[in-house]
Amino acid sequence: MSEMNGDDQAILPFDDGSAGRLIRRVWHEGRWYFSVVDVIAVLTDSDRPRKYWSDLKSKMLGEGFTELSAKIGQLKMRSALDGKQYKTDAADTETMLRIVQSVPSPKAEPIKQWLAHEGARRLDEVAAQLPEGQQRLLLRGEMADRNRALADAAAGSGVITSRDFAVFQDFGYMGLYGGEKARDIAARKGLAKGEKVLDWMNPEELASNIFRAAQTTAKLEREDTDNKADANQTHFTVGREVRETIARLGGTMPEDLPTPEQSIQQLERAEQQRIVAEQQPRLFPEDAAGK
């Protein structure tokens, strides 16, 4: 009954009669984080879930749940109203289950089962069940997270300025794409100036780049790389090894994969319009619509 909608950060947990109730989630630091306000909205059917959560959080803190409060962070998630990203309280599966226990609701048990199931699912497992456009949205969000982690690791190796990072990224691309830099990839894809190559990759190409970024981050941290030259070489080496792995598996080289017809931004706009349209009240009852 769990059904993912088109937004990579919003999902409809189950058919409980609360049409339009979405629970947003985001892949962060290797696990899912869920919007607390969204879970509260489904549990309570409240028109003011933010107020309900604010009161509940104050009550829980008053009862000594300081450890729980420390595990609730602010993460950016996309609003279904205007499509923009705003910071909102988010919690991982374990923390979210504890919050649910504090809300008297007949939906508490189904929500707990859903959280336990969805929280344990890997990103690639979720993505594999989605249409290609939705896979791209999900994987592009993960790529953004991986690039942030990669930038942090590279900064510890002396990759400080935006120019440094651009050069560092090119070394990774050259390893993975058989010598192509970002500008070469963009030219081959026919992109306009300012368009990002990651926004014009299909799921398979995005997955290869996620692996490249994740493994480079781990290697830089594991080897405590302390200079730009070694960091650049590490990125190139990891990219090349990912490429060699693809070749051994008989896969398609990333430069030979097709370029999608729509950018990530175009997909986001289309999906956001669909979400908003689905939340609009029907003009006629369903049983009369076909008459």
Percent of the chain with pLDDT over 70: 84
DSSP, residue by residue, 205-266: HHHHHHHHHHHHHHHHHHHT--SHHHHHHHHHHHHHHHHHHHHHTT---GGGSPPPSS-HHH
Span between the terminal Cα atoms of the chain, in Å: 28
Structure tokens at 43: 């549990």
Query: For position 11, what pLDDT does the model report?
Result: 45
DSSP 63-97: TT-HHHHHT-EEEEEE-TTTS-EEEEEEEEHHHHH
pLDDT of amino acid 3:
33
Residue 15 has pLDDT above 60, yes or no: no
**Which pLDDT band holds residue 288 (cuts at 50, 70, 90)?**
very low
CA nearest 170: which of 152, 154, 189?
A: 154
- 3-state DSSP assignment of residue 34: strand
pLDDT at residue 117 greater than cutoff 50? yes
pTM to 2 decimal places: 0.66
